[in-house]
Amino acid sequence: MADKIKLLVAFLLVVAGIVGYYYLRDSASVLKLASVLAGLLAAAAVVWTTELGKRFFSFSKDSIAEAKRVVWPTRKETLQTTGIVILFSIIMALFLWAVDASLMVLVNKLMGRVD
């Protein structure tokens, strides 16, 4: 029950930040942005204390660690793969164009149209 109250408070903090944005509509953009960011940061701090928030931040930390273990392709591999994809796209476009043109000629001949 306490977590639900904390989540409600976090939601209200976000709403307060947005209301502050509109309340400060005649102020500088920096103040309006600061209002929204303050609401979001305060809400994040409250969510952090909930069980759901702890699980989410733990998941985020694990995701970052997993992303660091990814083996990214080298520049050469990336360029080669990109070249193959572009070449395949061009070949498929030409093939589909040829099939379409052939079918158009065939249909025109069957309909008795002369070009």
Query: For residue 25, what pLDDT is reported?
Result: 85
Q: What is the pTM of this model?
A: 0.53
Task: For residue 10, give the nearest of 47, 58, 48, 38 by alpha carbon.
Answer: 47
Q: pLDDT tens digits, residue range 9-52?
A: 999 999 999 999 999 888 888 998 999 999 999 999 999 999 98
Predicted confidence band at 3 (pLDDT cuts at 50, 70, 90)? confident
Q: How far is CA 71 from the centre of its chain?
A: 22
**Domain segments of the chain as ranges:** 2-69, 72-115
Q: pLDDT tens digits, residue range 85-96?
A: 999 999 999 999
